[in-house]
Amino acid sequence: MRTFFDCIPCFVRQSLESARLATSDEAVHERVLREALRTAAEMDLRRSPPAMGQHIHRVIRECTGQNDPYREMKDHFNQMALKLYPTLRQWFDDSDHPIETAVRLAIAGNVIDVAVKTQLTDAEVRESILGALSAPFEGDVDQFVSAVRAADKILYLADNVGEIVFDRLLIEQLQPANVTVAVRGFPVINDATLADAETAGIDQVAAIIDNGSDAPGTILDDCSPSFREHFDQADLVIAKGQGNYETLNEVDKDIFFLLTIKCPVIARHTGYPTGTMYLERSTASVVAGEEE
């Protein structure tokens, strides 16, 4: 997906918020803000929004001298999600439609995202997740289930810390297919990396790889050859969150996107309001499939 004009003020706002989350040093806030403005002024709008996020977070890491400035916050969200896990597990075990419940919970976990709305309180996160089973949902779960059952090799693209704990429930449901979970190659905002996948216990249910990139999405050209091979060989990709949607929604591949719609641009693009739990099969792949 290209970058829309409305993404630009949002980039600038997020850059400032991210800088403030990383450090209290106002000189760094100013450097990050000015660099975001300069970059956005010259940005090629045909690139996807996460390309900008990638650049800005490189600047933040450089300015702060920290490789993972949100580590503390990320640990906090992981621990909070792990505390919620037994409750979710119970809901899931009690459910008449376990796979739909698992899909909903995996999407609900996507609200743990400081990239769009910073400084969510624990209560906000819990409330949002607990409301997930009754929230507006758009998407064809039956089609998703059929595709999963027909797949041999599934590549599951994780998104954020915390959220990845909820992904585990869904990944368990995807068996007996061969499932590989991919995380970001390097820390960027609150996106999950290898350590977070292990904290979430993903290693107990699937193989884990990283994509070799520090973009808050999946910019294929920026990913490692090893990840690209996994991507190419998978017969089904499950991609979590807006960042993965924005970077992959025009790729010719059978992809199911699972996300919470968090911004007006994605709302307009999908046709559903912000807050919607959204499951979409890549139109690009459907069109390609129909042509076969």
> Which residues are near its own copies by CB under 8 A?
5-6, 8-10, 12-13, 16, 26, 29-30, 33-34, 37-38, 40-42, 45
Please say which residue, 5 or 225, places its beta carbon nearer to its own copies. 5
Asked if 248 and 255 touch (Cβ cutoff 8 Å), the reply is yes
Distances (CA, A) of 264 to 163, 202, 242, 245, 270: 22, 32, 12, 14, 10
Taking the complex as a whole, the smallest distance from the CB of residue 13 to its own copies amounts, in Å, to 4
Amino acid at 86: P
Please say which residue, 30 or 203, places its beta carbon nearer to its own copies. 30
Taking the complex as a whole, the smallest distance from the CB of residue 68 to its own copies amounts, in Å, to 24
Taking the complex as a whole, the smallest distance from the CB of residue 98 to its own copies amounts, in Å, to 43
Please say which residue, 129 or 266, places its beta carbon nearer to its own copies. 266
Please say which residue, 47 or 89, places its beta carbon nearer to its own copies. 47
Separation between Cα atoms, residue 20 and residue 131, nearest integer Å: 30
Strand 236-240 relative to strand 207-210: parallel, antiparallel, unpaired? unpaired
Amino acid at 269: H
Taking the complex as a whole, the smallest distance from the CB of residue 28 to its own copies amounts, in Å, to 11
Quote the crossing angle between the two packed helices 98-108 and 122-130, to the nearest 10°: 150
DSSP 3: P
DSSP 200: T
Taking the complex as a whole, the smallest distance from the CB of residue 244 to its own copies amounts, in Å, to 25
Asked if 254 and 282 touch (Cβ cutoff 8 Å), the reply is yes
Taking the complex as a whole, the smallest distance from the CB of residue 59 to its own copies amounts, in Å, to 13
Please say which residue, 9 or 201, places its beta carbon nearer to its own copies. 9
Residue labelled with tokens 């400081």: 114
CA neighbor of 77 nearest in space, from 21, 105, 119: 119
Please say which residue, 19 or 171, places its beta carbon nearer to its own copies. 19
